[in-house]
Amino acid sequence: MAKDQVERRQAAREKARQIAQAQANREKRAKTILWSGIAVVVVAVIAVIVVLIVHSSRPAVGPATMVNGGVTLTQGEKGTTVVAHPSDKENVPDGLPAYDSGKQKENAAHVDVYLDFQCPACKSFEDTNGAALTKLMESGDITVTYHPVSILDGASGGNKFATRAANAFMCVADAKNDDKLVDVIQNIFAQQPEEGGSGMEDDQLLGILEKSGVDLDAKTTVLEEQPTVRDCVTNVSFEKYVQQATKTAQDRDLKGTPRIQVNGKDVEPKVWANPQSFGRTLLEATGQIGGQK
């Protein structure tokens, strides 16, 4: 009898041990599955973060005719045409005609205009000097690079007019409406919304482009599926490029707009605000009158 009790106790202990071992094994498996799941999630999160970082570090896609946020215009065989910036003579960007392929004179001066379509002083510059710049460009005396930026988005009641207007200009540039770009600039400034107002709606921007002779159904070049100018405007397709171009300009010491440079040298506001003084600066830069080119 005593022997039977001992065997029963041993059997009970063995069964209890087996039950405990089985429970321990289940818990171990559960922990393994749990940590494996956590590891998979962590890896997935890291992968997403890496993709986001890589994506955000990529340069934004810009219009085919623009480099570093600027489009350079000169006189061509059939009117205004786009060429590379004179600083890129030795390294012409892909897809752009060389600077010297234009019909400008050999001693032509170059003007860089940094503008914000919401900026009242930029409108003043255009009102004061726009016609003269166009005339001198048509005669081959100057070439002009326009750099639209968006510094004053906060001055349009949340409408982000500066970005959206710059984007509209870029949509036209990407559709290679070279001969319409100056008119687009002039007509947007002619209807510039009041600073601190509510900006301008898409229909108004599209109306300005139409008034400038732009074909709103023309296809863009670099964007996926090549949307029309109309869709490019309403979708603000170049928004990221506008932001990138603005940062590039600020990295180049842009403090405000307009910033006007002639042959790479800044022109003081008191000079460009006076059409006679600015005209003289341009003629001096071409060597047509006394002064340093």
In this predicted structure, the answer to whether residue 48 has a pLDDT above a threshold of 60 is no
Judgement on whether residues 96 and 3 belong to the same structural domain of the protein: no
Residue 87 has pLDDT above 90, yes or no: yes
64 within a domain of the structure (yes/no): no
Question: Same structural domain for residues 248 and 148?
Answer: yes
Residues 48 and 85 in one domain: no
Answer whether residue 97 is part of any domain: yes
Whether the CB-CB separation of 217 and 204 falls below 8 Å is answered with no
Domain annotation covers residue 65: no
Q: Verify that 133 and 246 share a domain, yes or no.
A: yes
Which residues have CB under 8 Å from 160's CB, separation 6+? 150, 153, 199
Q: Does 121 have pLDDT greater than 70?
A: yes
pLDDT category of residue 41 using cuts at 50, 70 and 90? very low
When pLDDT is averaged across residues 55-60 and rounded to a whole number, the result is 54
199 and 116 housed in the same domain: yes
Q: What is the pLDDT of residue 57?
A: 44
Note the pLDDT of residue 173: 97
Query: Residue 291: which pLDDT band, with cuts at 50, 70 and 90?
Result: low
Q: Do 17 and 153 belong to one domain? A: no
pTM (whole model) above 0.85:
no
Higher-pLDDT residue of 166 and 47 is 166
Q: What is the domain extent for residue 178?
A: 71-286
| pLDDT of 52 strictly over 80 | no
Beta strands in the chain (DSSP E): 71-76, 79-83, 109-115, 142-148, 259-262, 265-266
Q: What is the mean pLDDT of residues 3-17?
A: 68
Examine the pLDDT at 14 and tell me if it is beyond 90. no
- Asked if residue 118 has pLDDT above 60, the reply is yes
Domain count, the chain: 2
Same domain, 48 and 187: no
pLDDT of the residue at 24 = 74
Q: Render pLDDT for 215-251 as a digit per residue (tens, 0 to 9).
A: 999 999 999 999 999 999 999 999 999 999 999 999 9
3 is a domain residue: yes
Q: How confident is the model at residue 115 (pLDDT cuts 50, 70, 90)?
A: very high
Kindly report which listed range (12-26, 31-45, 224-238) carries the lowest average pLDDT score: 31-45
Structural domain contains residue 252: yes
Q: Give residues with Cβ within 8 angstroms of 122, minimum separation 6.
A: 115, 116, 189, 257, 258
CATH assignment of the domain containing 158: 3.40.30.10
When pLDDT is cut at 50, 70 and 90, the band that residue 42 belongs to is: very low
- Give domain status of residue 248, yes or no: yes
In a domain, 293, yes or no: no
Assess whether 53 and 197 both reside in one domain. no
- Same domain, yes or no: 177 and 208: yes
Same domain, 33 and 164: no
Whether 197 and 276 share a structural domain: yes
Characterize the bridge pairing of strands 142-148 and 109-115: parallel
Instruction: Point out the domain boundary residue: 27, 58, 89.
Output: 58
pLDDT of residue 38: 64
Considering 35, 58, 81, which residue would you say is the last residue of a domain? 58
Q: For residues 233 and 168, what is the distance between their CA atoms, to the nearest angstrom?
A: 5
Per-residue DSSP letter, 194: P
155 assigned to some structural domain: yes
Tell whether the model's pLDDT for residue 12 goes beyond 70: no
Query: And the tokens for 270?
Result: 């008191």
Q: Specify whether 147 is located in the same domain as 215.
A: yes
What is the tens place of the pLDDT at every residue in 173-227? 999 999 999 999 999 999 999 988 888 999 999 999 999 999 999 999 999 999 9
Which residues lie across from 110 on neighbouring strands? 143
* 51 band by pLDDT with thresholds 50, 70 and 90: very low
